[in-house]
Structure formats: C-alpha cells, structure tokens
Structure 1
C-alpha cells in the first residue's frame, strides 16, 4: 500500500480524493487545505483525516503527495516534496510563470524521485490507442494532425483572470498531446484568436476562440482549434493523417442510440461539460502513477515534459499577441532533470 496525502480540497481535489479513497493499492492518509473546514469536510466524506501541511509532507507517514492546491502553490509544494524525498503527482501547471517553473524543476534532482504532472488527456482510452497506432507506423509518416478542444460555456471571468489565458489553460493539454503522439517537439507556432462571448475577455488580454498551427521538425503540421463556448456540450477529437492512411479518435457522445424518422435521424448528444467527458482519465492517471511507484517503472508526463508543453503555450501566447509566428524555445535543463 502506498501512503498518499492530498494537498488541496477544492473541486479537483475532491475528484482526486474520491479516486484515492477507492484505489485498492492506496492508503489515503489525509487531506490538507488552507481552509481547515474544507479539508475536514472532504476527509469525512472519504473516511480519512484532515491534516496540516507538515503532516502531508512527513516522510515517516507519507510516501507520495498529490498536489491539487491553487496553481500559485504547485512549485513550492513540488520543491518541498523533493526535499523530503516524497513522490509527487501534481496538477498542471508547475507554475504559470515559465521561468519560475523552470527554476523549481532545475532545483530538483529528479534522479530517483518519481514526479509527474497530471496532463490527464494522455490517459484517455481513445487517445492512447491512437498514439499506439501512429507510433507503430499504421498511417505511415505523419503529415497533418487536427485537434479539437471545445467547451460548452465561458468559464467565470474571475477564473479567466488568473488562468493564464486560453493557450496556457485549455490548449496546453493538446500541446502536450501533440508531442506525445508524434514524438516530435514543434519548432514554431502561429496562433490567432477572437472573442465572441463577452467583450471583457478582450480586456483580460485573452480570447475565447482560437486556431493554432504547430510546425514539426519533420515538416508535419498540427492544427488545434479551441473554443470556450459552443452551446452543444463538450467536444474533443484528434485526427492524424499520414502518408499511408488516417486514424481518428472521434467525438464521444453520451450514448450510441440513433432514432430514425422520415427525413431525419436523432442521435445522442455530447457530454454536458469537460469533466463529464474526461473524468475517467483522472482515475487512469492515478493508476499509472501508483503502478509506476510500486513496480519502479518509468512514469510520465514528467516535469521536463510539462515544461515543454508550457514552453509551447508561452510561444503561442506571444504569437496570439503579435500576430506573427514564433519560434519555440525549450528550457535548458541539466542531465539530472531528464
């Protein structure tokens, strides 16, 4: 049994708490949060204990920490876990500021320290199968990748103001997927966007709808369209076109029943929101992390991989603001961090 502490008792913390409590190979030690009332409530729900940060990072009673606290605390919690020798599974991003994220990863000797950033889309069943097929050469050389990430409604402006913008908050998951699926680090990025929902989004320096093009070293192109509000549910898909064929992880509906009438066909719609669509990926990511710890196997996405996705998001944000393509500059990390 791997002894886990959870740091953060907000919405995503509550998701992780349920998965930790249900995992057969996890001893859910307790929940820590800046709000003791919130941590106590979440702990009661899952038959564990409300603890403080010192207890959450105590290597005598904890083997691993799951960091689901506010974004501005991730880097310091990762540093603390590394200092005391704990494994860590951290929500993205390491820090919204790339320089600060690089600084903390550089300060951590990752040799023998299992640390993973929860880019949970990698654990989507369909995306995993798509990647396996692409890496096995089933479509030949990759030439064009098309990705879609579209949400049902504009998040609260209060959230958008601290999210880092669409590139860093929403599209970054697909920057990570693009690298993971193709096995290439994109060299340049061009991004363009508009605001269709609320003019105050523009005042925040953000967009709600965008299209991004990545150019890979092989010449392959990746096109990602992102939308905050579409009105018909939550919509994700990935298509990879190769020299010998095409593979697609299509839109996932809530069901597979179609009703046929004269002149029309009515089918099941999309998931109501992003969480309903991706909830199983959080469980699968935890499974991967626990299995890697128990069997001392390689885990990922690693901290350096997360930094690469963030570097792409930074370049895409610059392109969005300047209107011109941008080179992607990846952090230079020491050998110990790879």
Structure 2
C-alpha cells in the first residue's frame, strides 16, 4: 500500500488525512503544517510522523506519494518538489492563481512520468460520474446542454475571500472542470456575468463577485450554463442537468435523510441539504483516493491531471476577462 504524506492540516487536509488513514488501500505516512498544533493533533490521532518541514514530508524514504492541501500560493513549489523527488502527487485546486506561473511549471515538468492528479473531486461524485457514463454511452442521444447549479450555504470569511483569487478561481473553477468533464469536448467560448448581491462591498474590498452566471460553448455548439452564488440560505445547492436529443439526465441535491412530511399545513417537506462540500462529496473524496492509489500502484492514468487543472484555470481567467470587458471571450485568446 502506498504511504502518503499530507501537506496542510486545515479543514480539507484534516479530512484527507482521516480518509487516507482509514482507506483499505493506502497508509498515512505523516503530516506537515506550518501551524504546528494542527499537525501535532493529526499526527497524534493517527500515530504517524509529524514532519518538520514540507520538503521532509516530500523527500522522506518512508513516503511514496504526497497530497498537497496547503495554501494555493505554495502549490507550484510543492508540486515541482514532488516531481523532482519522483513522488506521485495529488494537489488540491487550483494549481496556482496565476496562469502564467502554471504555464511556466508545465514547461519545467514536461515529460515527467510522475503521476500528477488534481483535486477536482466532483468528477468522482457517484451521480455525476454515472451521468457522464450515460452520456458517453449515448443514452440521451446527442448532448445539447449541461446545466450546473452550485451555491454555497453562506459567504466564506473575509480573509479567505480576499486571498482566494476571486469567485471564478476558487469556486466556479470546480464547475468549469465539471463542465469540461460532462461535455466531453473542449470549450471554445466563454461568456460570464457577475454581480454583488450578497455583499455589495466586495467591489471596495477585493473587486470580486458573489453571484455569477457562466455560459460555455464548444466548437460543435454544445452549451454549459453554470449558476453560482456565495449564499443560498436553504443550504449547499449542488445539481446538474444534461439535456440530449433523446432525453435528460439529472443528479440532485443530497439531504441528511430521505424522509418527507405531508401535513395539513405543508407538503413534500424534506430534511435540510447536507451542510457543505465535505458532507456532500464525502463518497467522492473516498473514490478520489482510490483513483490516486490505482495510479500509484497499477500505473493507471490519473483521471484528472495537471492539464485539466491548467485548463480549468484558463477558463476561470476567461470568465474574469468576459466580465471585465463585457463580451464573449475565445479560449484561443489565451494560447
């Protein structure tokens, strides 16, 4: 079983460490975080090494692979260190906030045989994955439209918003990757619009948006529409529809349980939506680790690689350009 170290012990790193430690096909080798108490807690919980530095967690002879869950600004450095060390790497999105830096890294690691996987976990959601397989099998005929609804239950903390790179790079980027996955074709045109409806002061604070719509188009005319909001008061809203010439595919929200109430005063009342991404995509995170292990142990191709991460960031940049210039942006403009 591959021995995997985890860099970063914040919310998502902690979840990854727990998943690896309990995964039947992987071993948690150790953890590292610049905030020592976080790493010490996880290392103690699982009885693993608390590495003194990120490079030690990468280069240790007791480590076969690395999962990067550190701040985005460190991803390029740690990714390159993993490649140099010959260690397979699973990196949380995005690779970086700068497409220029990502392109430069792509050139430096060109030709590497080291497995590099990106953490676009929504591809592994059982419903989303089943929909993609049904589309590929022709069950709905020729695909025409993909509709992705993705809304957070509430605004992220101000500190996160100000350093996130903006909604298109930190939130919509998941849906941009999912759209590429579901369309089965590359996007050639991007049209985006953004508003500040939840927090009107975002313009003054960080020139960002909290409510956005993106329209993607492929060369053959297939369309994807992405609807994002930073705040849906009813919970974490995650749905997709795929319309084809012979029918439609739908994957819906997840609830805490499936019971519904029908009373004299109200009908079809369901339990709340699952709270946030760790709960909603829990099964997908488990599949993600299994896919990573398969790439390490059996040489299977990573299902979502470095180039997928680069293209998702390119589409995010195209969204910002579209909003700023009030026009449809061609992806060829970034070539």
Distance 1:62 1:244, change over 3 A: same
- Partner residue of 1:273 out of 276, 289, 294: 276
Q: CA deviation at 1:287?
A: 1.1
- Partner residue of 1:327 out of 308, 320, 330: 330
Q: CA deviation at 1:59?
A: 5.3
What is the RMSD computed on CA atoms of the aligned residues?
Answer: 1.5
| Equivalent position of 2:258 in the other structure | 256
| Equivalent position of 1:194 in the other structure | 195
- Deviations 1:94-140, CA, capped at 9 Å, x for gaps: 11111101111221144421110110111101000000000111111
Runs (4+) of structure 1 exceeding 6 A deviation are none
Distance 1:38 1:324 in 2: 45
SS in structure 1 of the partner of residue 59 of structure 2: coil
Q: Is the 8 A contact 2:183 2:222 kept in 1?
A: no
SS in structure 1 of the partner of residue 171 of structure 2: helix
- Partner residue of 1:208 out of 207, 210, 216: 210
| Equivalent position of 2:313 in the other structure | 310
Distance 1:130 1:293 in 2: 27
Q: CA deviation at 1:251?
A: 2.2
TM-score by length of 2: 0.95
- Deviations 1:129-186, CA, capped at 9 Å, x for gaps: 0000001111111111111001111111111111111111111111111111121111
TM-score by length of 1: 0.94
Q: CA deviation at 1:54?
A: 3.4
Q: Which moved more, 1:61-70 or 1:258-267?
A: 258-267
Distance 1:107 1:258, change over 3 A: same
Count of aligned residue pairs for this structure pair: 332
- Deviations 1:56-82, CA, capped at 9 Å, x for gaps: 122522110111111100000000010
SS in structure 1 of the partner of residue 97 of structure 2: coil
Q: Is the 8 A contact 1:308 1:330 kept in 2?
A: no
Q: Is the 8 A contact 2:256 2:274 kept in 1?
A: yes
SS in structure 2 of the partner of residue 187 of structure 1: strand
Q: Is the 8 A contact 1:58 1:84 kept in 2?
A: yes
Distance 2:15 2:288 in 1: 12
| Equivalent position of 1:335 in the other structure | none
| Equivalent position of 1:28 in the other structure | 28
Q: Is the 8 A contact 1:8 1:33 kept in 2?
A: yes
Q: CA deviation at 1:240?
A: 0.6
Gaps spanning 5+ residues in structure 2: where? none
| Equivalent position of 2:16 in the other structure | 16
Distance 2:229 2:270 in 1: 23
